[in-house]
Amino acid sequence: MFNMSNNEKQNDDLEKLLSNMPIFTDNRSKDEVYNRVHSEMKSANIDVIKRNNKPFSRWMPLVVSIAAVLLLTFLVSSYLETSNEESASQHKADEQADTMRTMDVNPASESKMEKDMKTTEEAEIENKDESFNSLAVESESLPIQPFNSARTVYEDDLNDGVAFHFSLTKEAYAYPITIIISKGKINEDFPDGWPNSLQLYEQYASAIDEVALGFNDYLPFQGHFVSVGDTLQHYLPKGHGYDEASATTAVYDDTTRFIFSDFAFLERLNEDGTEITWDQMGVMDKESLISANEQQVYFKQKMSNGLTFLVPKDASTVPPFTEMQKSVNDYFTTVVPKGVNYEVTEEGNTVVITFEETLDLATMDYADSILMIEAFTLTAASFDKTVRLENVEQKQWDRFDLTTSLPIPMGPNGYVLIDNK
Protein backbone atom coordinates (compact mmCIF):
# COMPACT_ATOMS: atom_id res chain seq x y z
CA MET A 1 0.00 0.00 0.00
CA PHE A 2 1.32 3.31 -0.55
CA ASN A 3 0.24 6.77 0.82
CA MET A 4 -1.52 9.31 -1.45
CA SER A 5 -0.70 13.06 -1.14
CA ASN A 6 -3.44 15.56 -0.23
CA ASN A 7 -3.66 17.00 -3.71
CA GLU A 8 -4.03 13.66 -5.23
CA LYS A 9 -6.77 12.77 -2.78
CA GLN A 10 -8.68 16.01 -3.59
CA ASN A 11 -8.37 15.36 -7.31
CA ASP A 12 -9.64 11.92 -6.85
CA ASP A 13 -12.67 13.15 -4.92
CA LEU A 14 -13.49 15.76 -7.52
CA GLU A 15 -13.37 13.18 -10.26
CA LYS A 16 -15.75 10.95 -8.36
CA LEU A 17 -18.14 13.89 -7.81
CA LEU A 18 -18.14 14.84 -11.42
CA SER A 19 -18.61 11.31 -12.52
CA ASN A 20 -21.73 11.10 -10.42
CA MET A 21 -23.34 14.27 -11.93
CA PRO A 22 -25.95 13.98 -14.69
CA ILE A 23 -24.64 14.06 -18.22
CA PHE A 24 -25.50 17.32 -20.11
CA THR A 25 -25.52 17.28 -23.87
CA ASP A 26 -25.77 20.30 -26.23
CA ASN A 27 -26.51 19.46 -29.83
CA ARG A 28 -25.99 23.09 -30.96
CA SER A 29 -23.03 23.82 -33.18
CA LYS A 30 -20.31 26.18 -32.14
CA ASP A 31 -21.62 28.85 -34.54
CA GLU A 32 -25.06 28.75 -32.96
CA VAL A 33 -23.60 29.11 -29.48
CA TYR A 34 -21.46 32.02 -30.57
CA ASN A 35 -24.26 33.87 -32.29
CA ARG A 36 -26.49 33.50 -29.18
CA VAL A 37 -23.84 34.87 -26.84
CA HIS A 38 -23.04 37.72 -29.20
CA SER A 39 -26.66 38.65 -29.50
CA GLU A 40 -27.18 38.81 -25.70
CA MET A 41 -24.07 40.92 -25.20
CA LYS A 42 -25.25 43.38 -27.85
CA SER A 43 -28.66 43.65 -26.19
CA ALA A 44 -27.04 44.35 -22.81
CA ASN A 45 -24.89 47.16 -24.29
CA ILE A 46 -27.93 48.80 -25.84
CA ASP A 47 -29.68 48.99 -22.40
CA VAL A 48 -26.58 50.56 -20.86
CA ILE A 49 -26.39 53.17 -23.64
CA LYS A 50 -30.08 54.06 -23.19
CA ARG A 51 -29.61 54.66 -19.50
CA ASN A 52 -26.45 56.72 -20.04
CA ASN A 53 -28.21 58.91 -22.66
CA LYS A 54 -30.63 60.24 -19.89
CA PRO A 55 -28.51 62.76 -17.90
CA PHE A 56 -31.58 63.80 -15.80
CA SER A 57 -31.76 60.27 -14.45
CA ARG A 58 -28.49 60.74 -12.64
CA TRP A 59 -29.89 63.83 -10.77
CA MET A 60 -33.31 62.39 -10.13
CA PRO A 61 -32.59 61.25 -6.54
CA LEU A 62 -31.17 64.67 -5.66
CA VAL A 63 -34.12 66.52 -7.22
CA VAL A 64 -36.58 64.29 -5.44
CA SER A 65 -34.78 64.90 -2.16
CA ILE A 66 -34.80 68.68 -2.61
CA ALA A 67 -38.48 68.65 -3.56
CA ALA A 68 -39.24 66.57 -0.55
CA VAL A 69 -37.36 69.00 1.69
CA LEU A 70 -39.21 72.02 0.20
CA LEU A 71 -42.57 70.32 0.51
CA LEU A 72 -41.82 69.39 4.08
CA THR A 73 -40.76 72.99 4.84
CA PHE A 74 -43.98 74.36 3.34
CA LEU A 75 -46.12 71.91 5.25
CA VAL A 76 -44.34 72.66 8.51
CA SER A 77 -44.66 76.45 7.98
CA SER A 78 -48.37 76.18 7.19
CA TYR A 79 -48.89 74.02 10.19
CA LEU A 80 -47.09 76.50 12.47
CA GLU A 81 -49.10 79.48 11.14
CA THR A 82 -52.36 77.62 11.54
CA SER A 83 -51.35 76.58 15.01
CA ASN A 84 -50.46 80.18 15.94
CA GLU A 85 -53.79 81.52 14.62
CA GLU A 86 -55.70 78.83 16.45
CA SER A 87 -53.67 79.52 19.56
CA ALA A 88 -54.34 83.28 19.32
CA SER A 89 -58.03 82.69 18.72
CA GLN A 90 -58.17 80.29 21.60
CA HIS A 91 -56.27 82.75 23.79
CA LYS A 92 -58.70 85.54 22.91
CA ALA A 93 -61.63 83.27 23.56
CA ASP A 94 -60.09 82.27 26.87
CA GLU A 95 -59.62 85.92 27.83
CA GLN A 96 -63.24 86.65 26.97
CA ALA A 97 -64.34 83.64 28.91
CA ASP A 98 -62.23 84.73 31.86
CA THR A 99 -63.72 88.22 31.66
CA MET A 100 -67.19 86.80 31.59
CA ARG A 101 -66.38 84.56 34.52
CA THR A 102 -64.89 87.51 36.40
CA MET A 103 -68.07 89.47 35.83
CA ASP A 104 -70.00 86.35 36.70
CA VAL A 105 -72.32 86.79 33.74
CA ASN A 106 -73.01 85.05 30.47
CA PRO A 107 -74.75 86.36 27.33
CA ALA A 108 -78.10 85.19 28.58
CA SER A 109 -77.66 86.73 32.01
CA GLU A 110 -76.23 89.88 30.44
CA SER A 111 -79.35 90.21 28.34
CA LYS A 112 -81.38 89.70 31.48
CA MET A 113 -79.35 92.37 33.27
CA GLU A 114 -79.96 94.85 30.45
CA LYS A 115 -83.65 94.02 30.54
CA ASP A 116 -83.75 94.46 34.31
CA MET A 117 -81.90 97.77 34.03
CA LYS A 118 -84.38 99.00 31.42
CA THR A 119 -87.24 97.84 33.59
CA THR A 120 -85.78 99.66 36.58
CA GLU A 121 -85.22 102.85 34.60
CA GLU A 122 -88.73 102.71 33.19
CA ALA A 123 -90.11 102.16 36.68
CA GLU A 124 -88.15 105.16 37.98
CA ILE A 125 -89.45 107.33 35.13
CA GLU A 126 -92.99 106.15 35.80
CA ASN A 127 -92.58 106.87 39.50
CA LYS A 128 -91.26 110.36 38.71
CA ASP A 129 -94.16 110.98 36.35
CA GLU A 130 -96.65 109.77 38.93
CA SER A 131 -95.05 111.94 41.59
CA PHE A 132 -95.08 114.96 39.28
CA ASN A 133 -98.66 114.39 38.15
CA SER A 134 -99.92 113.98 41.68
CA LEU A 135 -97.72 116.90 42.78
CA ALA A 136 -97.01 115.11 46.04
CA VAL A 137 -93.55 115.71 47.46
CA GLU A 138 -91.90 113.09 49.63
CA SER A 139 -89.11 114.77 51.56
CA GLU A 140 -87.39 113.35 54.63
CA SER A 141 -89.51 115.24 57.10
CA LEU A 142 -92.21 117.18 55.25
CA PRO A 143 -94.22 115.52 52.47
CA ILE A 144 -96.92 117.85 51.17
CA GLN A 145 -99.58 117.64 48.48
CA PRO A 146 -102.11 120.08 47.01
CA PHE A 147 -105.28 120.61 48.96
CA ASN A 148 -108.39 120.07 46.84
CA SER A 149 -106.75 121.01 43.52
CA ALA A 150 -104.87 123.97 45.03
CA ARG A 151 -108.01 125.64 46.27
CA THR A 152 -108.10 128.41 48.82
CA VAL A 153 -107.94 127.43 52.48
CA TYR A 154 -110.74 128.54 54.81
CA GLU A 155 -110.99 128.27 58.56
CA ASP A 156 -113.22 125.19 58.42
CA ASP A 157 -110.45 123.38 56.51
CA LEU A 158 -107.98 123.64 59.40
CA ASN A 159 -109.76 121.25 61.77
CA ASP A 160 -108.03 122.99 64.70
CA GLY A 161 -104.72 122.82 62.87
CA VAL A 162 -102.45 125.64 61.68
CA ALA A 163 -102.19 127.49 58.37
CA PHE A 164 -98.47 127.74 57.58
CA HIS A 165 -98.03 130.53 55.06
CA PHE A 166 -95.21 129.75 52.66
CA SER A 167 -93.93 130.95 49.29
CA LEU A 168 -92.70 129.33 46.09
CA THR A 169 -90.61 131.09 43.44
CA LYS A 170 -90.77 130.71 39.68
CA GLU A 171 -89.37 132.98 36.93
CA ALA A 172 -88.83 136.04 39.15
CA TYR A 173 -92.26 135.74 40.77
CA ALA A 174 -93.17 134.64 44.27
CA TYR A 175 -96.34 132.60 44.74
CA PRO A 176 -98.05 132.31 48.13
CA ILE A 177 -99.20 128.90 49.29
CA THR A 178 -100.96 127.83 52.48
CA ILE A 179 -99.93 124.56 54.12
CA ILE A 180 -102.37 122.96 56.54
CA ILE A 181 -100.57 121.31 59.46
CA SER A 182 -102.64 119.16 61.76
CA LYS A 183 -103.10 119.91 65.44
CA GLY A 184 -101.40 116.64 66.36
CA LYS A 185 -98.30 117.48 64.33
CA ILE A 186 -98.14 120.96 65.85
CA ASN A 187 -98.44 119.57 69.38
CA GLU A 188 -95.68 117.08 68.61
CA ASP A 189 -93.26 119.60 67.09
CA PHE A 190 -94.11 122.49 69.43
CA PRO A 191 -94.86 121.05 72.87
CA ASP A 192 -94.23 124.41 74.55
CA GLY A 193 -97.03 126.26 72.81
CA TRP A 194 -98.60 127.43 69.56
CA PRO A 195 -95.92 128.59 67.08
CA ASN A 196 -95.68 131.90 65.26
CA SER A 197 -94.71 132.27 61.59
CA LEU A 198 -90.96 132.41 62.32
CA GLN A 199 -91.07 129.19 64.32
CA LEU A 200 -93.05 127.46 61.58
CA TYR A 201 -90.55 128.68 58.99
CA GLU A 202 -87.55 127.47 61.02
CA GLN A 203 -89.17 124.09 61.63
CA TYR A 204 -90.41 123.26 58.13
CA ALA A 205 -88.96 125.53 55.42
CA SER A 206 -85.76 123.57 54.78
CA ALA A 207 -87.73 120.34 54.41
CA ILE A 208 -89.96 121.52 51.56
CA ASP A 209 -88.70 120.35 48.16
CA GLU A 210 -89.53 123.35 46.00
CA VAL A 211 -87.96 121.86 42.85
CA ALA A 212 -90.08 118.71 43.08
CA LEU A 213 -93.13 120.95 43.25
CA GLY A 214 -92.07 122.54 39.95
CA PHE A 215 -90.51 125.72 41.35
CA ASN A 216 -87.06 127.20 41.93
CA ASP A 217 -84.83 126.25 44.84
CA TYR A 218 -85.08 129.53 46.73
CA LEU A 219 -85.67 128.87 50.42
CA PRO A 220 -84.52 128.86 53.14
CA PHE A 221 -83.22 132.40 53.19
CA GLN A 222 -79.56 133.23 53.61
CA GLY A 223 -78.62 134.55 57.03
CA HIS A 224 -80.81 134.17 60.11
CA PHE A 225 -83.87 135.75 61.71
CA VAL A 226 -84.52 137.11 65.18
CA SER A 227 -87.92 138.24 66.47
CA VAL A 228 -88.00 141.34 68.65
CA GLY A 229 -91.59 142.07 69.65
CA ASP A 230 -93.58 142.77 66.50
CA THR A 231 -90.38 143.26 64.45
CA LEU A 232 -88.62 140.53 62.51
CA GLN A 233 -84.89 141.15 62.10
CA HIS A 234 -83.06 139.53 59.20
CA TYR A 235 -79.27 139.35 59.59
CA LEU A 236 -77.79 139.01 56.12
CA PRO A 237 -74.28 137.91 55.05
CA LYS A 238 -72.18 139.77 52.51
CA GLY A 239 -72.96 138.81 48.92
CA HIS A 240 -76.48 137.63 49.72
CA GLY A 241 -77.62 138.72 46.26
CA TYR A 242 -81.13 139.80 47.23
CA ASP A 243 -80.37 143.33 46.02
CA GLU A 244 -78.73 142.46 42.69
CA ALA A 245 -81.68 143.69 40.64
CA SER A 246 -85.18 145.01 41.03
CA ALA A 247 -86.60 141.56 40.22
CA THR A 248 -84.56 139.80 42.94
CA THR A 249 -85.56 142.49 45.44
CA ALA A 250 -89.24 142.06 44.47
CA VAL A 251 -89.06 138.29 45.04
CA TYR A 252 -87.37 138.82 48.41
CA ASP A 253 -89.98 141.38 49.47
CA ASP A 254 -92.93 139.23 48.36
CA THR A 255 -91.55 136.08 49.95
CA THR A 256 -90.96 137.70 53.34
CA ARG A 257 -94.41 139.28 53.42
CA PHE A 258 -96.12 136.03 52.36
CA ILE A 259 -94.40 133.96 55.06
CA PHE A 260 -94.12 136.34 58.03
CA SER A 261 -97.62 137.76 57.90
CA ASP A 262 -98.01 137.97 61.70
CA PHE A 263 -95.13 140.43 62.14
CA ALA A 264 -95.70 144.15 61.79
CA PHE A 265 -92.21 145.11 60.63
CA LEU A 266 -89.16 143.72 58.84
CA GLU A 267 -85.67 145.06 59.62
CA ARG A 268 -82.72 144.04 57.45
CA LEU A 269 -79.26 144.18 59.04
CA ASN A 270 -75.67 143.14 58.37
CA GLU A 271 -74.42 140.05 60.16
CA ASP A 272 -72.74 142.22 62.81
CA GLY A 273 -76.03 144.03 63.53
CA THR A 274 -75.15 147.26 61.74
CA GLU A 275 -77.54 148.92 59.33
CA ILE A 276 -77.44 147.46 55.86
CA THR A 277 -77.06 149.25 52.54
CA TRP A 278 -79.26 147.87 49.77
CA ASP A 279 -77.86 148.24 46.29
CA GLN A 280 -79.57 151.05 44.35
CA MET A 281 -81.70 151.84 47.41
CA GLY A 282 -79.24 152.90 50.08
CA VAL A 283 -79.61 152.30 53.81
CA MET A 284 -82.64 150.18 54.62
CA ASP A 285 -85.05 151.18 57.35
CA LYS A 286 -87.78 149.11 58.91
CA GLU A 287 -90.53 148.13 56.51
CA SER A 288 -94.16 147.44 57.25
CA LEU A 289 -95.21 143.86 56.63
CA ILE A 290 -98.84 144.50 57.45
CA SER A 291 -99.33 147.13 54.79
CA ALA A 292 -97.52 144.93 52.27
CA ASN A 293 -100.26 142.30 52.57
CA GLU A 294 -103.10 144.76 52.21
CA GLN A 295 -105.14 145.83 49.20
CA GLN A 296 -104.31 143.17 46.67
CA VAL A 297 -106.20 142.01 43.62
CA TYR A 298 -106.18 138.29 42.80
CA PHE A 299 -105.74 136.83 39.34
CA LYS A 300 -105.14 133.28 38.15
CA GLN A 301 -102.12 131.76 36.51
CA LYS A 302 -101.72 128.36 34.87
CA MET A 303 -98.51 126.86 36.26
CA SER A 304 -96.11 124.56 34.41
CA ASN A 305 -96.74 121.88 37.04
CA GLY A 306 -100.38 121.63 35.98
CA LEU A 307 -101.92 123.63 38.80
CA THR A 308 -103.73 126.89 38.45
CA PHE A 309 -102.60 129.30 41.14
CA LEU A 310 -104.35 132.37 42.46
CA VAL A 311 -101.74 135.13 42.53
CA PRO A 312 -101.95 138.57 44.17
CA LYS A 313 -101.12 141.88 42.54
CA ASP A 314 -100.93 145.15 44.38
CA ALA A 315 -104.07 147.16 43.76
CA SER A 316 -103.91 150.21 41.54
CA THR A 317 -106.08 153.29 41.46
CA VAL A 318 -108.68 151.29 39.58
CA PRO A 319 -111.37 149.81 41.86
CA PRO A 320 -110.15 146.28 42.67
CA PHE A 321 -113.20 144.30 41.52
CA THR A 322 -113.27 146.30 38.32
CA GLU A 323 -109.56 145.64 37.82
CA MET A 324 -110.19 141.91 38.24
CA GLN A 325 -112.31 141.80 35.08
CA LYS A 326 -109.34 142.24 32.72
CA SER A 327 -106.11 140.28 32.40
CA VAL A 328 -102.91 142.18 33.11
CA ASN A 329 -100.54 139.87 31.21
CA ASP A 330 -99.77 136.18 30.81
CA TYR A 331 -98.95 135.93 34.50
CA PHE A 332 -102.05 137.72 35.75
CA THR A 333 -105.14 136.55 33.87
CA THR A 334 -108.67 137.40 34.89
CA VAL A 335 -110.84 134.93 36.81
CA VAL A 336 -114.02 136.47 35.39
CA PRO A 337 -115.31 134.71 32.26
CA LYS A 338 -115.81 136.73 29.12
CA GLY A 339 -119.34 138.13 28.90
CA VAL A 340 -119.90 138.08 32.66
CA ASN A 341 -120.53 141.61 33.93
CA TYR A 342 -121.43 142.89 37.37
CA GLU A 343 -121.84 145.98 39.53
CA VAL A 344 -120.07 146.52 42.84
CA THR A 345 -121.52 148.19 45.91
CA GLU A 346 -120.61 148.16 49.57
CA GLU A 347 -122.72 147.53 52.64
CA GLY A 348 -120.56 148.30 55.63
CA ASN A 349 -117.66 145.85 55.53
CA THR A 350 -119.32 143.71 52.88
CA VAL A 351 -118.69 144.06 49.16
CA VAL A 352 -121.81 143.19 47.16
CA ILE A 353 -121.27 141.92 43.61
CA THR A 354 -124.49 141.92 41.59
CA PHE A 355 -124.38 140.25 38.19
CA GLU A 356 -126.17 142.15 35.41
CA GLU A 357 -127.69 138.93 34.10
CA THR A 358 -128.56 135.96 36.22
CA LEU A 359 -125.40 133.90 36.48
CA ASP A 360 -125.82 130.16 36.09
CA LEU A 361 -122.62 128.72 37.50
CA ALA A 362 -123.44 125.36 35.91
CA THR A 363 -122.75 126.86 32.48
CA MET A 364 -119.17 127.63 33.51
CA ASP A 365 -116.23 125.30 33.78
CA TYR A 366 -116.50 123.98 37.32
CA ALA A 367 -112.88 124.75 38.30
CA ASP A 368 -113.14 128.24 36.83
CA SER A 369 -116.32 128.94 38.76
CA ILE A 370 -114.61 127.98 42.03
CA LEU A 371 -111.52 130.07 41.25
CA MET A 372 -113.67 133.11 40.51
CA ILE A 373 -115.53 132.87 43.82
CA GLU A 374 -112.32 132.26 45.77
CA ALA A 375 -110.57 135.20 44.07
CA PHE A 376 -113.49 137.41 45.11
CA THR A 377 -113.10 136.35 48.74
CA LEU A 378 -109.28 136.78 48.73
CA THR A 379 -109.46 140.24 47.17
CA ALA A 380 -112.13 141.36 49.62
CA ALA A 381 -110.16 139.99 52.58
CA SER A 382 -107.07 142.01 51.61
CA PHE A 383 -109.26 145.11 52.08
CA ASP A 384 -110.55 143.71 55.40
CA LYS A 385 -113.94 143.04 53.91
CA THR A 386 -116.22 140.13 53.13
CA VAL A 387 -118.07 139.60 49.85
CA ARG A 388 -121.59 138.56 48.85
CA LEU A 389 -122.84 137.54 45.40
CA GLU A 390 -126.25 138.56 44.07
CA ASN A 391 -128.34 137.39 41.10
CA VAL A 392 -126.85 133.89 40.95
CA GLU A 393 -129.02 130.97 39.83
CA GLN A 394 -127.69 128.61 42.51
CA LYS A 395 -128.17 129.06 46.23
CA GLN A 396 -125.40 126.64 47.12
CA TRP A 397 -122.29 125.99 45.07
CA ASP A 398 -119.65 123.58 46.31
CA ARG A 399 -118.84 124.69 49.86
CA PHE A 400 -120.27 128.17 49.40
CA ASP A 401 -123.62 129.32 50.73
CA LEU A 402 -124.56 131.96 48.17
CA THR A 403 -127.44 133.36 50.24
CA THR A 404 -125.05 135.11 52.62
CA SER A 405 -121.57 136.60 52.85
CA LEU A 406 -118.83 134.22 51.78
CA PRO A 407 -116.31 132.96 54.36
CA ILE A 408 -113.05 134.80 55.02
CA PRO A 409 -110.10 132.87 53.53
CA MET A 410 -107.00 131.88 55.49
CA GLY A 411 -104.77 131.88 52.42
CA PRO A 412 -104.59 130.90 48.74
CA ASN A 413 -103.27 127.77 47.02
CA GLY A 414 -103.74 125.20 49.74
CA TYR A 415 -101.42 122.30 50.51
CA VAL A 416 -101.62 119.66 53.21
CA LEU A 417 -98.78 118.28 55.29
CA ILE A 418 -99.01 114.49 55.15
CA ASP A 419 -98.33 113.08 58.59
CA ASN A 420 -97.37 109.43 58.07
CA LYS A 421 -96.92 108.72 61.76
130 confidence band (pLDDT: 50, 70, 90): very low
What distances in angstroms separate CA 407 from CA 202, 378, 381, 401, one per listed residue?
30, 10, 10, 9
Lowest mean pLDDT among 230-244, 291-305, 341-355: 291-305
The pLDDT of residue 330: 84
Residue 16 pLDDT greater than 70, yes or no: no
User: Where along the chain do its domains lie?
Assistant: 55-104, 145-293, 296-413
Higher pLDDT, 13 or 407: 407
Residue 127 pLDDT greater than 70, yes or no: no
Which pairing describes strands 350-359 and 386-392: parallel, antiparallel, or unpaired? parallel
Distance CA 340, CA 408 (A): 24
Average pLDDT over residues 311-324: 94
How much helix, strand and coil, in percent to the nearest 5, is found in the chain?
A: 40, 25, 35
Average pLDDT over residues 335-356: 96
DSSP H or E segment with residue 366: helix 366-382
- pLDDT tens digits for range 142-162: 788 887 765 899 999 999 999
Cα angle value 318/324/325 (rounded, 5°): 105
